[in-house]
Amino acid sequence: MTRRPWLYAATAATCLAGWSAVATAATLPASNPFAAESTLPYHAPRFDLIKDTDYQPALEQGMAEQAEEIDRIANNSEPATFENTIAAMERSGRLLDRTLETFSGVYSANTNPVLDKVQEVVGPKLSAHQDSIFLNPKLFARVQYLHARKATLGLNAEQKQALDVYYQNFVQAGAQLSDGDKAKLRDLNTRLSKLETVFQQKLLAGTKASALIVSDKAKLAGLDDAAITAALTAAKERKLDGKWLLPLQNTTQQPALESLTDRETRQALFEQSWTRVEKGGDGDTRDTIATIAQLRAQKAALFGYKNYAAYVLADQMAKTPEAVHSFIAQIVPALAAEQKREAADIQATITKSGASFQLKPWDWSYYAGQVRKARLNFDENQVKPYFELNTVLQDGVFFAANRLYGITFKRRTDIPTYNPDVMVFEVFDKDGSELGLIYFDYFQRDNKNGGAWMSNFVGQSALLGTKPVVYNVGNFTKPAQGEPALISFDDVTTMFHEFGHALHGLFAKQTYPIISGTSVARDFVEFPSQFNEHWALNATVLAHYARHYKTGAPMPASLVALLKKAATFNQGYRLGEVVSAAELDMDWHSLGADAPKQDVDVFEKSALAKMGLKTDLVPPRYRSSYFLHIWSNGYSAGYYAYLWTEMLDDDTFAWFEKNGGLTRKNGERFRDMILSRGHTQDYGPMFRAFYGKDPDIGPMLTFRGLNGSKN
């Protein structure tokens, strides 16, 4: 997943009614690390100097400075030109940008009570500041004037696209609304941004509090020694001596469910995950999300859309909710049949073991593992010794990127970080020139949001003279001191995925920030990342990084074959949990403005029941109450993007396979036509230029093993 700091911080925030973004602020003291551009390479954040208390004054001063800049643009007595309006807006807000990009990254990955308070206090002002720009009638008049005359201005292709995007953003933000509706919109944005922050903070606290505490080591039977040691360490960090603690990941299913042999422990862990923020009291998120859904529907109605999904999808590749439902409908028949077959196989395995209980969701992963072991003679623990995190990164992720694009990497221990676990690498292009920096923050912490993501500390822009500084964040289990970081193949895939986002950011070569790098639609932004996942199982790449952490021996060919077969095993579950989450998201955002506030439990039960899938056994990857993507991270009515872009990436990988696979020629073509383009073109034509035709779902079903073929 990729995040865009401006959208993330502005929408996951509170908003104070009556705040004026033109309000002045005291001059930021020179001692504040954000007062001037960082002197570190690539303007990387000065984490060696930044204190938690530096963010708020810098953000407030940054808003005040940009407000003055915007005011001058809007009130310029000269006729509007691209340079004095669009380019001028792109140059504005430099202090705000560098502070907000840094704050967003740290707040998501390494928060604390001070940063939480900064978000609560400054968030309102960020939301109102954004409204003050996009609802400024004088500013919009200049943009509208230019847009109407676009063909006569002598603009190059990138300038025309930047102008189009600005115009669309103004319209989507409410620039064409009446004054009365603008007032309603400001109020809705105020309330939504507050609720989105409330949701995020409740979820972080609830996820931490719902970790499973185990008092008897025997209850952890099935976990390997490293996992048990990690659980003991996690408990000690919370001063729970003599106990073991299994922290929750952000997803419904938890990794330990595949290994735990004790059914009571499996059920307890699943239920802690399923109810993490449904325990009543102040930490319960259900009322919060029901209100968010209702207010979003009301916001969409102001723009004349029948629901929020239609409003959101207007500028996406899919365009309409109907197109999304039609796309998912092509998946469901094969998926439903696969779920039925898998459930029968698992129930038969349970019965064969001598047990008499009926399959439940907390049993699926464990017994699916038993089926896989019996059918393929494969166990996830067989491959973990061949996946040491640093080896996977440097000899796998970096190696594939070098073979495809010619780029190289150098560890930088002189660049300060916000946490000791973070690694920094400098990236060099194929000709040896400096390309950018990348930070890796892989280990789970209680003060880190769940999941994995990529974003920028510094965005690329020729106009601003900046090169990309990007980061990848994950939530892998941290090994005990001195132990190797052995990870699952799912974790390996996550590393390749997030690095695909990083490549999209690193290869950006745009002039204007608004269309640079990953500043693209949600149902396009996951395309490069999911495409990059394919190289994890490429024979050449896998042979280079899958080596035993003790002996250095390569993974045996027989085990490689099993790993590849296992990649398409259990697809009824693995695809099913994503499809049901995507449909749940679309259902929430298909509510009309006149719909009453929903009872979350009733709504979710009804939505899941009508999907035609075994959602009682294969629950959604994220339940409504902890669906961070859609309630706080900018993926509202957009979770389908992971499936849509999987279609794009599988089409693309099929093209690679037909044209020689892992070659520099193919990599350069993909870099030139997709990875380096940002949003300089519309998505459909961009994809067709590479693939040669519209996307089709065939390769996706093939790679998933759902059309009779196993890849």
Of 53, 63, 78, residue with least CA distance to 26: 63
CA distances from 519 to 98, 136, 495, 524 (A): 17, 23, 21, 10
SS3 call for 499: helix
| 453 phi and psi angles, rounded to 5 deg | -160, 170
Which positions ≥6 away from 95 have C-beta within 8 Å?
28, 34, 35, 58, 61, 62, 65, 66
**How far is it, in rounded angstroms, from Cα 471 to Cα 42?**
13
**How far is it, in rounded angstroms, from Cα 74 to Cα 145?**
12
- Going across the sheet that includes 423-428, the strands are 408-411, 423-428, 434-443, 469-476, 453-458
Angle between helices 683-691 and 641-658 (to 10 degrees): 20
Q: Can you say whether residue 231 is alpha, beta or left, with left for phi > 0 and alpha for psi between -120 and 50 degrees?
A: alpha
Q: Which of 498, 526, 533, 577 is catalytic?
A: 498
DSSP-assigned letters across all residues of 606-674: HHHHTTSS-TTTS--SS-GGG-HHHHTSS-TTTTTHHHHHHHHHHHHHHHHHHTTSS-HHHHHHHIIII
Which pair of structure tokens corresponds to residue 570? 């259990």
**How far is it, in rounded angstroms, from Cα 524 to Cα 517?**
12
SS3 call for 244: strand
One-letter amino acid at 49 equals L
DSSP-assigned letters across all residues of 544-566: HH-B-TTT-PBPPHHHHHHHHHH
Burial class (CB in 10 A: 0-12, 13-18, 19+), 615: buried
- Beta pairing, strands 244-246 & 408-411: unpaired
C-alpha 636 chain-centroid distance: 12
Which positions ≥6 away from 197 have C-beta within 8 Å?
12, 13, 14, 119, 120, 123, 632
C-alpha 514 chain-centroid distance: 19
SS3 call for 427: strand
Which pair of structure tokens corresponds to residue 121? 């206090």
- Residues 215, 243: contact at Cβ < 8 Å? yes
Angle between helices 571-588 and 641-658 (to 10 degrees): 130
Tell me the sheet residues that pair with 427.
Answer: 409, 436
Which pair of structure tokens corresponds to residue 335? 């998926």
- Residues 334, 341: contact at Cβ < 8 Å? no
- The residue whose two tokens read 């439903």 is 336
Burial class (CB in 10 A: 0-12, 13-18, 19+), 284: middle
SS3 call for 228: helix
Which pair of structure tokens corresponds to residue 373? 């072991």
CA distances from 392 to 215, 345, 490, 541, 661 (A): 34, 33, 12, 10, 20
498 assigned to active site: yes
| 433 phi and psi angles, rounded to 5 deg | -75, 155
H or E element that contains 409: strand 408-411
Q: Can you say whether residue 183 is alpha, beta or left, with left for phi > 0 and alpha for psi between -120 and 50 degrees?
A: alpha
Q: Which residues are catalytic?
A: 498
